[in-house]
Amino acid sequence: DYDFGEKFYLHREHAKRGDEIWFWWRLTKGAPGQSGPNPFYEWHLDLDCHVVLLTEVEVVHEGEKFKANYGEPEIKVRAYILVDPKGTWQKKIILKDMYDVFTKRVWKAELQSQRIQLYREAYRLQEAIKTYMKLQLYLPEPEMAKWYPRKDFTDYDVKT
């Protein structure tokens, strides 16, 4: 899918130590405004994932064998705001000189509010990923509720 923001994908296969996977996702979204998206700000969210030692394992549960994957993932979530993404202020002679004044003084509170909202969204995504992978959470309540029965085999015997 060309519309999806996957910029890089690499899959290396190793016979003895398992596979290695890299992928980078670059996601963008218009910043919310009072009456629709704000065209002056653009939210960017970068997800970088690196999985090492990925191997197929067999899990035995109640006498039945199931195939699963085992590996060590590392996921990085970065969020930032791009101010004036289309460059409309830089293209116009009058607005070019006023750009720094407006971003650093006039719209400073609005930019700070946008940053707080974006970081809040990034932390919610990070918490959803950690909840899915059953990692330690730093926020008081989990983001993803457990609406469905678990389909993993974390408390069963794993044979590699």
Q: Give pLDDT, residue 22.
A: 97
Between β-strands 64-83 and 19-33, what pairing exists: parallel, antiparallel or unpaired? unpaired
CA-based torsion, 118, 124, 130, 133: positive or negative: negative
Residue 148 lies in a domain: no
pLDDT at res. 8: 94
Percent of the chain with pLDDT over 70: 85
Total domains present in the chain: 1
Q: How is residue 36 written in tokens? A: 């629709």
pLDDT at 154: 57
> Does a structural domain hold residue 48?
yes
DSSP string covering the chain: -TTS-EEEEEEE--TTT-EEEEEEEEEEEEEEETTEEEEEEEEEEEEEEEEEEEEEEEEEETTEEEEEEEEEEEEEEEEEEEESTT-HHHHSHHHHHHHHHIIIIITHHHHHHHHHHHHHHHHHHHHHHHHHTTPPP-SSS-SS---S-----TTSEEE-
In this prediction, the residues of the chain whose per-residue pLDDT falls under 70 are: 1, 139-160
Question: Is there a domain that residue 45 lies in?
Answer: yes
CB neighbours of residue 74 within 10 Å: 10
Identify whether 153 is part of a domain.
no
Its domain, for residue 112, covers 6-137
Other beta carbons within 10 Å of 38:
15
